[in-house]
Amino acid sequence: MRIARFSIDGNVAFGAVEGSGSSPGELVLDIIKGIPFSDFELSGTKVPLSKVRLLPPVLPNKVVAYGRNYAEHARELGNEVPDAPFAFFKPSTSVIGHGDEIQYPSFSQDLHHEAELAVVIGRMCREVPRERVKDVILGYTCANDITARDVQRREKQWARAKGFDTSCPLGPWVETELDPSDLTIQLTVNGQQRQLGRTSEMIHPIEDLIVHISEAMTLLPGDVILTGTPAGVGPLTVGDEVAVTIEGIGTLTNKVVKRG
């Protein structure tokens, strides 16, 4: 099931995306009674996707991101491949949705894209054993770990480089029925391909990442885990349209604008 979060006429709701096409005109939303983190029913009330505004599919309490989880990406930036998962945080205020604008931060002159598979947590959990990881996952969505690369290089920690407002596009929805082990991830800028990889290239698979972070902290429903980016990261400029497409999920598209 594809679950979207959206607004219409000033109201915010979740809905199940129905239809076999990919364009908004081919899809409808069956509004969900309740929230997708507990038992819910479909209301039977349907609205065309073209009539709503898609919002970030979840509002996470925290976004836990894993760096250097694809060997070629680590090497392209001159970094060693880490022996253990390497985590950092992006704040909830960095999250935007499909169609929202990425604001180019005034303190950077080298903004980069990073296409990623995002894992959405479906239930509160801690110290999750590897064999139970699937039980705590609601589903998967597309993410773009927007990075101020010059700031990342200059500063010893990544809070500003990866945590600024609008640096975490998520969407367009959450796919709950998906095997994430070998999916194509690609990213285009103005229609030109920049990144192309597969989730099977991850150094540390999703199960290891969930075990790793849940050893240290409680994960809450709606929390998001970013799983790393394949090689091919590169610069963005004002006016660029950047799109992340993940097999079995869909396409997350955002435009880069000058921060006002």
With a cut of 70, say whether residue 22 has pLDDT above it: no
3-state SS, one letter per residue, for 211-253: HHHHCCCCECCCCEEECCCCCCCEEECCCCEEEEEECCCEEEE
What confidence score (pLDDT) does residue 159 get?
Answer: 97
With a cut of 90, say whether residue 20 has pLDDT above it: no
- Residue 136 CA to residue 221 CA, distance in Å, equals 9
What confidence score (pLDDT) does residue 71 get?
Answer: 85
Place 156 in a pLDDT band, splitting at 50, 70 and 90: confident
Mean pLDDT of 110-118: 98
Considering just the CA atoms, what is the radius of gyration of the chain in Å? 17
- Residue 143 CA to residue 96 CA, distance in Å, equals 10
Output the DSSP codes for 177-218: S--GGG-EEEEEETTEEEEEEEGGGBSS-HHHHHHHHHTTS-
- Predicted TM-score (pTM) of the model is 0.96
- Identify the structural domains of the chain with CATH numbers, from first to last: 2-54 (2.30.30.370), 63-258 (3.90.850.10)
Q: What single-letter amino acid sits at 217?
A: M
Helix, strand, coil shares of the chain, percent, nearest 5, are: 20, 45, 40
Enter the DSSP assignment of 219. Answer: B
Q: Assess contact for 58 and 174: CB atoms under 8 A.
A: yes
* pLDDT (tens digit per residue) in 178-236: 999 999 999 999 999 999 999 999 999 999 999 999 999 999 999 999 999 999 999 99
What confidence score (pLDDT) does residue 260 get?
Answer: 77
